[in-house]
Structure 1
Amino acid sequence: MLVDRLHFIHFFAQISHESGFRPREENLNYSIDGLVKTFPGRITAAQARKIGRTGTQRADKEAIGNTVYGGEWGKKNLGNVEPGDGYKYRGRGMIQLTGRANYAALGAAYELNPDLLLTPAGSMRAAIEFWKSRKINVPAAKDDVKAVTKLINGGSNGLAERIALTDKLKAIWPA
């Protein structure tokens, strides 16, 4: 699993960025603009106006989760097949595991009780299993922060901070 210096460095840099080493639950407190920018193609402007946060309207977090992690996109990419799965299996843990299929891959207990990812032990286990299942050691061994990041969040969100954290860990954990 994590067998060499670069594996550990990338693993801990990514977890630091994702959660600050604390089990967390995705907030989903998005503004209208934030929804459209963060989830292009998964939510329309009209949907965002209905459920996004404004100065006078609270974000409808359950509707947001079900909209951006549900539907055909959620079924295809996250295994969210039941109504309500988008919110139920929102990002949790140190690495923000998202989607029914990812929870189920950890075992029936996680699928039945998603809040297990909010415990330190459950959260760390999930992060390690996620890392292993995505074969993230391959780009980590090549010291490719961008490729590691893409495997974790599907894009390059927070790439500059992830690079800085990786560099910081390399400096304190020399070869």
Structure 2
Amino acid sequence: MDKTTLKKIMPFATDANIDKFLPHLNDTMATFEIDTPMRQAHFLAQIAHESGSLRYVREIASGEAYEGRKDLGNVMPGDGPRFKGRGLIQLTGRTNYKLFDEYTNHEYDLLHHPERVEQPDLASLVAGWFWHRNKLNELADRDQLMKITKKINGGYNGLEDRGEHLTRAKAALITS
């Protein structure tokens, strides 16, 4: 994918952020077989929403809402803010950070340094890993926006915005 295509999908993304993330997004999509126009459209639409068009790699909220959330693995005091959403897909919760650490053989030591997910390479890689781990390529192949959103968000927050990004992504990737 090139810069022009990504700008069509995320028209509000700055050129600087596109330049910063584009090579990592391309690597990530290749690594996790996000390799058809439909898969790429869904993946990019979701990260466009989750990151505010590549503006945010750390959740704006404090993370206190996640404190004590055993479903996220937040069992230690301070886990909510420590493991709040990060990366282009807003990876959340001690469990997800731990699972990514295990996937990379603890190369990044995210349990001790969760802020590392804010770096462009990891922000992209974590998004692809989460996508792959949750079998979202299969849902993208079937054009299942609501099911993908539920897996990523836990609900349907921002569904309209995700749909708008998806429409632009399909136009840029499928119909061009």
TM-score range, shorter chain: 0.7 to 0.9
Contact residue 145 and residue 163 of structure 2 kept, 8 A: yes
Structure 1 runs of 4+ with >2 Å offset: none
Q: CA deviation at 1:24?
A: 1.8
Partner residue, 1:42: none
CA distance in 1, matches of 2:111, 2:142: 33
Q: Secondary structure at the match of 1:82?
A: coil
Alignment of 1:9-158 (within 5 A): 9-19=41-51, 20-28=53-61, 61=62, 65-66=63-64, 68-71=65-68, 74-75=69-70, 77-107=71-101, 108=106, 109-158=109-158
Q: CA deviation at 1:102?
A: 0.5
Contact residue 83 and residue 92 of structure 2 kept, 8 A: yes
Larger RCO of the pair (alpha carbons < 8 Å, separation 6+):
2
Partner residue, 2:169: 169
Query: What is the CA deviation profile of residues 89-122 of structure 1, one whole-angstrom value per residue up to 9, with x for unaligned ones?
Result: 0111111111011111111312221011110001
Q: Over aligned residue pairs, what C-alpha RMSD do you find?
A: 1.3
Contact residue 22 and residue 93 of structure 1 kept, 8 A: no
Larger Rg: 1
Structure 2 unaligned segments of length 5 or more: list them.
Answer: 1-32
Query: What is the CA deviation profile of residues 98-147 of structure 1, one whole-angstrom value per residue up to 9, with x for unaligned ones?
Result: 10111111113122210111100010111001101111112111111111
Number of residue pairs matched by the alignment: 136
Contact residue 149 and residue 156 of structure 1 kept, 8 A: yes
Q: CA deviation at 1:22?
A: 4.1
Instruction: Work out the percentage of aligned pairs sharing the same amino acid.
Output: 40
Instruction: Supply the AA of the counterpart residue of 1:101.
Output: T
Instruction: Supply the AA of the counterpart residue of 2:112.
Output: L
Q: TM-score, normalised by structure 1?
A: 0.73
CA distance in 2, matches of 1:6, 1:22: 24
When residues 147 and 140 of structure 1 are mapped into structure 2, their CA distance, relative to the original with a 3 A threshold, is same
Query: What is the CA deviation profile of residues 16-45 of structure 1, one whole-angstrom value per residue up to 9, with x for unaligned ones?
Result: 1111124521121xxxxxxxxxxxxxxxxx
